[in-house]
Amino acid sequence: MGIGFMDRWRARHARRPGGIPPQPDEATMAELLAECGLLRELAGDAGVQLDDGVASLTALDQLLPRWRDDPEVSEWLGNDAGLYLGTVLHRTVPGTAWRLDVERDHPLLVLPGDRELDVAVIGHSWADEGSPQLAAAYRAATDG
């Protein structure tokens, strides 16, 4: 899937006694998933400040999708967009937590009420097709 934080996390824990734990601790996971380097760079180049707030999702939705011309960029951007959506939800919705689906090596966002949201799928759809808009996905996650 191209989420590099898992490789860094595994490498760091592989050297420790006891090896790799089944789940990264939630705080570490939240910090690593919030990096979204490519998205932050692309947004910054377009003059959009990503402050991990809800309004920044709307600003991202307004960007011209120039990245669609490069499938490699679109793939990474989709991951970053989904992780950024998850980061905004994590920081603004109390009781939200990250969980690693170890079978798929894939992060999921767990919303209050134990509803799981695969934000990477949403991010890829946004990067590839522009739909759903990230702000609309946020509203759907918080209304549901």
For residue 123, the domain's CATH number is: 1.20.120.1090
Give me the pLDDT at residue 21, please.
56
Higher-confidence residue of 94 and 16: namely 94
pLDDT one-digit tens code per residue, 28-62: 889 888 999 999 999 999 999 999 999 999 999 99
Rounded to whole angstroms, the Cα distance separating 76 from 12 reads 23
For residue 92, give the amino acid letter.
T
Contact between residue 45 and residue 67 where contact means Cβ atoms under 8 Å apart: no
Residue 67: how many other CB atoms lie within 10 Å: 21
Give me the pLDDT at residue 10, please.
55
Give me the pLDDT at residue 1, please.
43
Strand, helix or coil at 114? Answer: coil
Q: Which of 22-31, 44-53, 60-69, 93-102 has the lowest mean pLDDT?
A: 22-31
pTM tops 0.95, yes or no: no
- State the Cα angle at 36 between 30 and 137, rounded to 5°: 80
Rounded to whole angstroms, the Cα distance separating 43 from 77 reads 11
| Segment 117-144 mean pLDDT | 93
Rounded to whole angstroms, the Cα distance separating 128 from 41 reads 18
Give me the pLDDT at residue 18, please.
61
Give residue 100's domain range: 5-143
For residue 103, give the amino acid letter.
E
Strand, helix or coil at 48? Answer: coil
Which segments of 1-144 does DSSP mark as H helices, in order? 5-14, 26-33, 37-45, 54-61, 71-92, 119-129, 134-143
The structural domain count of the chain equals: 1
